[in-house]
Each structure stands twice: as structure tokens, then as C-alpha cells.
Amino acid sequence: MDSFNETVLEINLTTLSKNYYYLKSHLGSNTKFLAVVKAFGYGSDAVQIAKHLESLNVNYFAVAYVNEGVQLRDAGITTPIMVLHPQPSNFKTLIDCCLEPSLYSPRVLQQFIDIASEMNQNEYPVHLKFNTGLNRLGFRENDIIFIHSHLNETAAIKVKSIFSHLASSEDLEEVAFSKSQIISFIKIAADFNASLENPAFLHMCNTSGVLNYPEAHFDMVRCGIGLYGFGNSAKENENLTPIASLKSVVSQIHIIQPNETVGYNRAFKATKSMKIATIPVGHADGIGRQYGNGSGFVIVNNKKAPILGNVCMDMIMVDITDIDCKEGSEVIFFNDTFTAEQLAESANTISYELITGISQRIKRKIIE
């Protein structure tokens, strides 16, 4: 095995393109595509992801917070950017950077109108989120009259779209609930748009919604996890490929004897002679303590090496007793074969948490 030098997160843009086109293949020709690049592009590199997707003519981006949108604008991204959960304290910055807010409550709507009016805006584009069952953010159907009364009193904003969010689109045991959400949203949209000269466009589907509910594609879809290579089902995982590979290196190898212990709090005690390897990745890098004590593993020379004892801040130790390797050998945490989903499941969590938690101190390497 070739020697490896450092910990790196490799990001494959060719694979990103393939995932994008696969998801696009499920859409009608007039359905817009919004790419979700929040949380550093799901833990990868939001700027590089957005630049590449912009070159593929994606219609919209979405981020969670204003500072994420500012970063994209500073990097030269010109495609419209929706901010899904803007904080009122950042509304002025949002407008300065031509970001488009999701407004989700009477309080936030009024605050944004006030700021937009103060900044002499005219028909500034906004998006209204309606709660149809996720119960996280969103107006209720009975807020429509309130919203229209405020819209009629100002020229500072203009509603560009209305949207909602499916709660269980990946769960085929929740089809009835998802369909009830879709029906509810269709009614809300009809009631909301009935009195508008220029109706707002509609969107509701996330990645699993795109794959499982074509009747809810509407005017635009919002895809996040699918772009990064996960389809939320074994079937769809075959059609998507993870774009990121987290790799590291064996820093040192020890031979330990029976009754010797490994790591903090002596959490692992050997019952036999063992060969262990130290790897320079820890919970400060996104491999949390839940992966320790045999729950998680890494791949060395195509074999699983269980994590021994407690995960340290900057290091883990793994069992390589039956693995042929040396100091400097490559270590894989996840890639397109040994996926982040598999590693996450070993610690009873999900791929989203694992990949978005990869520390920014880890070097990113872009593969064109």
C-alpha cells in the first residue's frame, strides 16, 4: 500500500455532476432545481460545490443562514440564493447581498417589511414557508388573510414563491401522511394565489420527495443529500454515489500485551497480544465519541479495523492485529464504497450528521 501523508476530505465534482443529472432526470423540463448547499455544502466545500453547480445551470441555491449566503456571494456566485432560516438581526446584510429570505411567521414577516421599507426596497423577492405537518417553521393556513393584509399595505416586498417541507418523504410507511401534506399544501397555494395578479411559484420536495412523490414536484424541487450521494434508501443509493472521501494515515503502530489498556480512562483492555494503530482524527474532526469502544471502524487495506477505547480529541486507536499495514499506510473513514452511511449506522446515527460534522480544519481536496 502506498504511503499517505495527511488527513484529507476528497470531493469529487464529476460524481456531483452525475448525482445532479440523475435527480434532474426525474423532473419535467419546466421544473426548476434548487441545490441546498448549507452547512458548508453538507460538510464538503460550499463554495466549490456551488461554483460547479452554477456551471451546470442550477436555478437556485439554498443556505440555512445569512452568513452562508454572504460567503457564496463573496466567492462570486450570482445565482439566486434562498436563506431558509434568516435571523432578523441579519436582514440588512441579507438585502445588501441580494439574498432571498424565507419568511415563516407573522413576526418575521412584519420585521422584514419594516427593514425593507427602511432600506427603500421595491418588490424585494421573498419566499413564504407554510407548515403542513413538520411543525418546525412555517405559517399556518389561517395566516393567509394576515399575510395578504400586510402585502397590500407595502410595495417593499413581493412574494416570489410559497413552499412547505415533507416530514417523512423517505419513509414508505408514512405515504398517507406525506400525501396529506401535499393535499394541504395544494389547498394553501390555491387560497394564497387566488388574489394575486402574479401567482407565486410552488415547491415542496426534498431529495426523497423528488424520488417518491412526482405529483409534488410543482414548479421547483429542493435537493440536498441526494447531490452528495445519498438516496435515503438502499434502492436509490444504487443510483447515487457519495462525492466525499475522508482519508487519513497510520501515524504509529504499537504492539500491546494482555492487560495493557488503550486511551483515556483505560476504556479498552487487551485480552491477548494485539497490534494497534494510531490515526490523527478525533472528535474535534467530526468523529465523535459515539464511534469509540468498538462501535465505529475504519478501513485499512480493505479490512475493517474497529476503534478501540474512547475517541480522543485529535486521534483514535484501532485494532490492526490481523491487517497487513505499516506506519504511513492509508486509512479510509468513508468513500464511495465504504460509505458514510455505513459508518454512521455503526454508531446509531445518520449520514447527514457524520458528513456535516467533518471539521473545517481537515484539508479539502477537489477532484475535478
pLDDT digits (tens, 9 = 90+) for 76-112: 999 999 999 999 999 999 999 999 999 999 999 999 9
How confident is the model at residue 1, as a pLDDT? 42
Strand segments, DSSP code E, in 212-355 are 220-223, 244-249, 252-256, 261-262, 268-269, 274-279, 297-300, 303-308, 316-319, 330-334
Catalytically active residues are 38, 264
Q: How much is the pTM?
A: 0.95
Reply yes or no on whether the pLDDT at 310 is more than 50: yes
How confident is the model at residue 4, as a pLDDT? 61
The percent of residues above 70 in pLDDT, for the chain, comes to 99
Reply yes or no on whether the pLDDT at 3 is more than 60: no
> How many residues belong to the chain?
368
Evaluate whether 214 touches 27 at the Cβ level (below 8 Å). Answer: no
The percent of residues above 90 in pLDDT, for the chain, comes to 97
- The topology (CATH level 3) of 244-367 is Lyase, Ornithine Decarboxylase; Chain A, domain 1 (2.40.37)
Q: Residues with Cβ < 8 Å from 197, sequence gap 6 or more?
A: none
Cell numbers given for 268: 479498552
pLDDT digits (tens, 9 = 90+) for 11-40: 999 999 999 999 999 999 999 999 999 999
Evaluate whether 308 touches 253 at the Cβ level (below 8 Å). Answer: no
Reply yes or no on whether the pLDDT at 281 is more than 50: yes
Cell numbers given for 114: 419594516
Going from N- to C-terminal start, the domains of the chain cover 13-231, 244-367
CA 328 to CA 313: how far, in whole Å? 21
Q: Crossing angle for the helix pair 144-151 and 106-118, nearest 10 degrees?
A: 10
> Across residues 264-285, what is the average pLDDT?
98
Cell numbers given for 67: 452568513
- pLDDT band with cut points at 50, 70 and 90 for residue 195: confident
> Across residues 4-10, what is the average pLDDT?
90
CA 260 to CA 342: how far, in whole Å? 30
How confident is the model at residue 232, as a pLDDT? 87
The average confidence (pLDDT) of the chain is: 97
> Across residues 256-283, what is the average pLDDT?
98
How confident is the model at residue 5, as a pLDDT? 85
The CATH superfamily label for domain 13-231 reads Alanine racemase (3.20.20.10)
CA 219 to CA 301: how far, in whole Å? 47
Reply yes or no on whether the pLDDT at 359 is more than 60: yes
Reply yes or no on whether the pLDDT at 168 is more than 60: yes
